[in-house]
Chains A and B, each alone.
Chain A
Amino acid sequence: MVIKAKIIDEIGLQRTITRLAHEILERNKGSENIVLVGVRTRGEFLARRILKKIVEIDGNEPNLGILDATLYRDDFRTRLKQPQVSVTDITFDITDKDVILIDDVLYTGRTTRAALDALMDLGRPRTIQYCVLVDRGHREMPIKADFIGKNIPTSLNEEIKVKMKEIDDEDAVYLIEIEN
């Protein structure tokens, strides 16, 4: 693994989160009907930060939930390692809400598909809008994000590594090359 570039640094991440929060509020005309749902693991921290920003801007605090889409994955039989499941923590009703689904990296779209299925089992939202920090391309499903922090075109032997202070030692987004 070789780090090829630091694409977003700490200040950059703050600005991106601020912009995403503004875009979400603009599209939804405020925060009255929205709820935020972060996809474990880094989507959760991203969602918390966007929530904090929304509170700062709008004064209102939308509900925040954490989604674990592991049980809805399509690769149980093909993966070598068994994925670890954790708890979905959405204690409010999402029916008729505008759900902002938040994740760190959009890649094949398979996790998003699993997350959408998981959300549909919890209720019938008015809309689901998808917010990602990085869109790296290479979609395998017809899925696109509504709010994008940064588009980073990548090759298949590259990887995007999002680091967040909540679990990593810094705030940053790296482009990494995998040697094989």
Chain B
Amino acid sequence: MATKLEKVPVVVIGMGWAGGIVSAELTKAGINVVGLERGKDRTTADYTMVHDELRYQHRTELMQDLSKETITYRNTMEGKALPMRYYGTFIVGDGVGGAGTHWNGQTYRFLPYDFEIRSKTVERYGEGKIPDWMTLQDWGITYDEMEPYYDKFEKMAGISGEEVPELWGPRKNPYPTGPLVKTPLMKTFEKAAKSLGYKPFVIPAANLSENYTNPDGISRGACQYCAYCENFGCEYGAKGDPAVTVIPVAKQTGKLDLRTHANVLEITSSGGKATGVIYVDMLTGERFEQPADVVVVASYVFNNTRLLLNSNLGTPYNPKTGKGTIGKNYCYQVTGGTTQLFFEDRQFNLYGGAGALGIEIAEWMGDNFDHSDVNFIHGAGIRSTQYGDRPIAVNRVPKGTPNWGAEFKKQSIKYANANFPVKTQGASMPHRENYLDLDPEFKDAWGYPLLRMTYEYTDNDREMVKFMAQKTREIGEKIGADIIETAEEQGNFSVNKDTNTHNTGGVIMGVDRETSALNTYLQMWEVENVFVVGASAFPHNSCFNPTGTLGALSYRAAEGIQQYIKNGGGLLV
């Protein structure tokens, strides 16, 4: 039996970037918000002992407890999905700050091409350029409409970057802080890229390049390049994190009722509208029903989709008919085509770094080049980064070296400070049969079905990787190294071997209720008082880390929710 609580105007599920931004904006506008977070509360005081690679990275200190809930996974619709029993590629955040605590901090805007991707592709290349299987859709919003929201997110988080006008959408304002430092590694890439005619830029970062006070009055110190970003929290608060930005702001209004260890199991509904949520206290097992006028679903991509499916909200996507929307257009990030460099007589201070420290070129991104003669659309950023190479995680050795024994030890030590890769970060196009639904067999600790992922890299991805591998090779050869190795092909997807947590889609935004779950305020077409905020709203994933766009969309959703409350209901679009 659940204890029924008093009704509130807004309940927000999840206290990461999406939930934090929405909570800050609504409470600043005088609206009372209950924030439910299944993990614990966190501040910088939690990170006194944060430089612990084993605990934070390999024992996934800041991540969701998989003993309670995980996903199941299969490569194709014919296979049987099996649970991800421990972490491999995905690191799903938990606790106040969510993934916004353990991220690296790379904060991009998507390209104008992204938001109108179907129209612009057809316009330039014709309908025939888009294969039948590719469920490519416009987002229902343009870059110019997104610009003010990007600006807001960048100012709040204090994004450090340099302006590169060509190849990007126009900015109304410069980055709030200048770019991070350019290290010898980055200068090496820069020199080679420039000599090939590219215009390299320093990656935009939420790791502050200088001390910064944001428009909410939050002051944070500059990044110290300690190299503990991804998987870790920042003890300085130098890394933009909801726990040191938007959440303290929301708390300070006195209008945020933040409840930690509160895991939402279901959204309740009646007559086509949500009525509230049921949640369980993770420490005591006690259940509560929290009625609300508006429900904001702001947890991770996976759980956003799962909560709607487990609550019978919206129409589940059917890959056979293409009908329905919840679970549609799950996309990932394609990062194949790396060229690895090993040096005999050069060493870099690779123990230092920052999560967003790096340099990149934009020439092969999006539709920045002519795709007439290639069998793919979109593209990739080509980049070299300096996150800081931690010794358990990073032991790069030349091909042919065994992964244990005398030779492994010798080579891994020899090259520990004398190697770096030229990498790609590529876009991921939607496939009709790449989707999310409920697993028919496996359950979470409370008996609710787990989310089932069906995903494999597409022909578009594989063609793109072959193309980008040539480009990384070219830059690698221009840099010059004693050993140059290129991974020329994209292998199959593996939930325990791939390399990032850039999951997108499942509850996508768009122009109509037949093809998308949400309008451009992230309001559900089918359930008007539910807003689903996060990268789950992306109809495809671009060649960037998703957080900048997730943040911008969160500001837009917050605006929509305020308007919805003011209007007293109804669809906003």
- The answer to whether A and B come from one shared complex is no
Query: Which residues of B are at the interface with A, using a C-beta cutoff of 8 A?
Result: none
Query: Which residues of A are at the interface with B, using a C-beta cutoff of 8 A?
Result: none
